[in-house]
Amino acid sequence: MTLAHGKTAAPTRLAALTGPGPVRDWTIRVAAFCALLLAWQLAAQNVSVAVLPTPRRVWEGMAGLLERGDLQLAWGQTAVQVAAGMLLSAVFGVVLGVLIGWFKPVDDAISPLLNAVFLMPRIALVPLIALWFGLQDTAKIALILSFSFFEIFFTVRNGVKTIENEFVEVAKAYCIPQWTVLRKVVLPAITPYVMTGLRLGLVYALVGVVLGGFFLESNGIGGLIYALGSDFRTAELIAALFTVMLVGLAVNLGLHRLENLLAPWKVTR
């Protein structure tokens, strides 16, 4: 029976990967992408190249940026800024989210202030950040922190509140100390919330780093986009914007896979 079961399990798994569902989905995606390129090509033929270049011109612009090294330099600077900002956001966001979500009196005291800051447009902090930290990388890291911290914090805090209702009552019934419950029950259970918070934080970190290139020192991918737009180099500008999309998608997919690995009980597609 084990042999028979083994013979049927492999084809079943193979069919799940190559069956009509995945094939149909990828066919639809490729067809939609081709239709978008065709519509783009037709639209670009009727307007100025400075307004909307053709896909071929954008591809040539991408090749030019890579050949000169402008794109590699910009993303190298941006990677350092985003990594530092996301590290600070992750540490403070997760730690404060767990502590404030777990201890209700602290939540009642601090959350109204954090909600008020969260509802304020973060771009309004740029003059204050420039005054405190200057216009260099430190200011950009602070701007990234201001954009990404709240997404991580509120996601983790809300996750802790949800976990408490689902899992903690049994532990409390056995009079297990709060710190033990927090370490053994809550922290493993909020892993999906932490990963979701990091994914959301990354999206806003990219927003912050691009805006930092506009309003602070003009380096990194934000500075490159600003310079290309100022010089009306539209093809290269669109190419640089595409790289932001691709990097965001790649990192988001990586975090999604990591979430499925660390929290296999909550696997999502």
The amino acid at 251: V
Evaluate whether 206 touches 188 at the Cβ level (below 8 Å). Answer: no
Q: Which residues, 6 or more positions from 181, have their beta carbon under 8 angstroms from its beta carbon?
A: 168, 171, 172
**64 and 12 within one domain:** no
**CA atoms of 212 and 215, how far apart (whole Å):** 5
**129 and 19 within one domain:** no
**81 and 36 within one domain:** no
pTM of the entire predicted model? 0.76
Measuring CA to CA, how many Å separate 241 from each of 71, 252, 254?
11, 17, 20
Measuring CA to CA, how many Å separate 197 from each of 30, 56, 256?
30, 37, 11
Higher-confidence position of 260 and 91? 91
**106 and 207 within one domain:** yes
What pLDDT was estimated at residue 1? 45
In a domain, 49, yes or no: no
Task: Give the domain range for residue 78.
Answer: 55-266
What pLDDT was estimated at residue 106? 84
Q: What is the pLDDT of residues 236-258, one digit of tens each?
A: 999 999 999 999 888 888 888 88
202: CATH: 1.10.3720.10
Q: What is the pLDDT of residues 167-207, one digit of tens each?
A: 666 666 666 676 777 777 777 788 888 988 998 899 899 88
What pLDDT was estimated at residue 16? 47
**114 and 181 within one domain:** yes
**CA atoms of 91 and 17, how far apart (whole Å):** 37
Tally of structural domains, the chain: 2
In 50-136, alpha helices (H)? 55-68, 70-102, 104-119, 126-133
* Mean of the per-residue pLDDT values of the chain: 83
In a domain, 226, yes or no: yes
Higher-confidence position of 164 and 229? 229
**165 and 76 within one domain:** yes
What pLDDT was estimated at residue 6? 47
The mean pLDDT value for 11-32 works out to 66
Q: What is the pLDDT of residues 119-153, one digit of tens each?
A: 888 888 888 999 999 888 899 999 999 999 999 99
**80 and 19 within one domain:** no
